[in-house]
Amino acid sequence: MAVVKEKMEVYKQKLDKILHEDGKLNEYLAVIERKTGVRRLYVVLGVAVILSLYLVIGYGAELLCNFIGFVYPAYVSVKAIESSNKEDDTKWLTYWVVFALFSVIEFFSDIFLSWFPFYWLVKCIFLVYCMAPVKENGAHMIYNRFIRPFILRSQKGIDATLDDIKDAAKSAVNKAADSAADIAARKMADNTKME
């Protein structure tokens, strides 16, 4: 128990240090701290506890979880696109690849997962872990350990399948266009005969 308490104290100190670094959010936290007299560390922990409880028992937990997992990453992705730095582009593309894979898996397993009482809290923690503003965040780890090796192993087969699908789609569109042209030509011919 003492080891856990020591670890928690270390994490609290790290978080407190981060909350005193320069940044817009920390400026707002400083104002809240001055006006309320409550340390910003406890303000952040209180908000985290309230969000956690809401994600477990609140109405609209799915919306809140998806909002958290989408809004900030979308904003910084736009900033990354507009910057000349390639590293931030790669970081956020990696996040979106992991997010997309997670969304597809979630789509097929949602019937089972929705019964799990802490699902939205766990999903939210997972998404925050994936977008954490550190070099080796969850998205980086999942991409490099699972997604990248799978894609590199299967790339030829995937590309061949995508080419087949593209050819089939092109053929279907051409057939539909030809059929539409034939039908239109017959209708025009029928209309001309009636006059």
For residues 19-26, average pLDDT: 80
As a residue count, the chain comes to 195
Q: Are 76 and 121 in contact (CB under 8 A)?
A: no
140: pLDDT strictly greater than 90 = yes
195: pLDDT strictly greater than 70 = no
Q: Can you tell me which residue has the tokens 């799990």?
A: 116
- Reported as a single tens digit per residue, the pLDDT across 33-91 is 999 999 988 998 899 899 888 888 888 888 899 899 999 899 999 999 999 988 889 99
Distance CA 96, CA 70 (A): 9
Distance CA 43, CA 40 (A): 5
Distance CA 95, CA 130 (A): 7
144: pLDDT strictly greater than 80 = yes
The rounded percent of the chain whose pLDDT value lies above 90 is 46
Distance CA 130, CA 140 (A): 7
124 — pLDDT class (breaks 50, 70, 90): very high
Residue 91 has a pLDDT of: 92
Beta-strand ranges (E) seen in 63-195 are none
For residues 131-155, average pLDDT: 92
Residue 86 has a pLDDT of: 87
Q: Are 141 and 126 in contact (CB under 8 A)?
A: no
**DSSP sequence for 102-150:** HHHHHHHHHHHHTTSTTHHHHHHHHHHHHH-SSTT-HHHHHIIIIIHHH
129 — pLDDT class (breaks 50, 70, 90): very high
